[in-house]
Structure 1
Amino acid sequence: MFDYLLIFVVIAIMIVGILTLRSVVKDTPHQSRLIKQIIWDIAGIATMFYVVFEKEARIKSYTKYIYAISVVLLVVVLIFGKTVYGARRWIDMGTFDLQPSELFKLAVILMLASIFSQYHKTKALILSIMAVLPAGLIFLEPDLGMTLLIGFIWFSMLLASDVEKKYIFTIVGVTIAFIPFAFFFLLEDYQRVRILALFNPEEHFREGAYNVIMSRSVIANGGIFGTGYELGTGTNMHIVPMQHTDFIFSAFAEQFGIVGTFILLGLYATILLAGLMQVGRYKDDFWEFVAIGVCSVFAFHVFENVGMNLGILPVTGIPLPFISYGGTSTLVFSALVGLLIKARAVSKKARQVM
């Protein structure tokens, strides 16, 4: 029952995304993005079903190849990638732009699931650290949001592993101590400004807080029930930059209000519940770690995107799953849901055999 519900939830969120994107690009030179996103959504649904019906053994055997390809692409994008707004994150494929970091997100979940299910304790910890090291290439693009996401995926799966907790606490302590150094010496100037803008947005209005201030204003205009579809004043005036990607939540919230927002968050919560309620009952450790990894991705994306739209988290360019415009991200999110459905399906079949 939950598996059919997951498919319905994904399609429902995609429809919401199409409707919201239509309201954003209407009467602009970018109306073609709507057609492109519809095509990507259809391809995403096909990807989801492919993963569901692919043989379990093949999925496990593909892991190392997907991981290797994604790492190679991360190197390629730094050399030959297309630069947009100062970041080199995309490879121009002619008809679309490929974002290797999105593929790495999928690859690292599969690789970590393979490592944590085959190895234990100290060896698993060392191998898992080696598996996430290519995230440094993502940081160089630069893409702080995706780098943090990879770290969150790793940490979530690490907590579920049998690695001794003393090592995990040590990692947490070292990470916290490293934050000031990273802030002053590793981040780009605009990244620091985005973080500082959280505490004093007015002072950084022109540098890093303009998007957030406009986004909050548009969201507030929606109130409890919203202005109604295509009746959002701020959305129709296009006062929020990047509203088709990073800040599309503001357009949704203005038109559908707090009530619509809670319904949307409920759809995302269904995906998380489908994965987490099964923990301890998956067929094997591989699928259990896959489910935890998938849930960590959706939790991070939704929490960070909504948070930065509300101005309570720094702007990191993290898209809202199935809502924000994007091709590679749509395919990867669809594949992740496919993996979650697959994990539940093979586990159910295994229990029936037993």
Structure 2
Amino acid sequence: MHRQTWFTITKLIVLVFLITSCTTTRLQQPSVDVVFIAYDQGESNAFKPLESTLIAKGISYNILAIGRAAEIFASHPRKLSIPPVDEVTLKENRKTPLSPETIKAITRSISPFIVYTGMASTAQAQLANAFKKQGSYSIAFYDNFDSPLRQPYLTPFLEEIHHPDEFHVPSVPTSQSFAGIALANQARIIVTGQPALESWDEIYKNTNETKLRRELGLNPNDPVVLFAGGYDDGYEQSFRVFMEATKQLPDITFLVTHHPKYSGQLESRIINAFGSKNVRLIPKEVANTASASKLALAIATHKSTVGAQALYKGKPVIYIAAQGYSNFLIEGGLADRTFTPRETAAAIKSAINKRANTSPGHHLGMPAHPSAMITHRLSEIIREQRH
């Protein structure tokens, strides 16, 4: 055979081998429509209600859980296995990065059409960047209604993320405050609503108020106010203001839930120190914040996103926080802010005599049916990616 012809055939064989090898490598990778990356409680609560609409639409998904979310999704059947990481450090410090080896191992193990991430940590941004680099469509989900400029917890994510394709935000006012971030990232903003609010619909539907009152030793007509716990630097002071206020309202039963991230030791210690007979900490085994709120005539909190969820269910909301604190509910006249025991007691007394607007979502500036809206958008992207 002529030498040049043989050389040409050899090149073709090598080329075919390379193409086949590349194709085989790609096909060996597990493929899924969406990978959700969760770190914090807030985004985990938002991702959970999406599951039923995703399944109904035939959209496959997995959950990549780190930090606090690793505990929340510990036994979830769709949780991805990842290489061993220092979960304690990841949970305690949202700036903790994943090693290049860990990121490479994760992105080699699965190939999603879409990566849908919360915005609470450096690690989430690292993973979103890596998946986008390998061809995934990248969406960053903001679970808070307040302006991102007021949320320092976003800084690690925003400093690390490189041009996600979209930001999903819960309300029209939130989208306006996101304009600068979206422009800097050349990303689109879509107002989707907050699916975590829908989870309260299901919890209220399944919570038997009579049974829960009986379990808590409450009479059918006992007036109840719920305090939803938090954890930031000013939280303890706010909780003490709340406790002082309860002394002025002895005929009201006050239930307290602690933040899921913590054990409730702080609240228990302060309640015991005050010796209050009308305040009790609810064990998390008995009821969570959402189910306990069904009993309440009003909700008090420090700065928790529970305020928006409670308002969604028609509960008057009181934020106990220093004068410099504000949020979209306070600014819109939808919730009160107090910071002295007298103000707080007066606000509670006023709140139990009224009801908030019960039109779901409308007063929050968010669209109805957030889970269905997000699922529809994911379906659109998947169709585009497949063609």
**Shorter-chain TM band:** under 0.3
Normalised TM-score (structure 2): 0.21
Higher helix fraction (1 or 2):
1
Q: Which has the higher strand share?
A: 2
Using the size of structure 1 for normalisation, the TM-score is 0.22
Q: Rg bigger for which structure?
A: 2
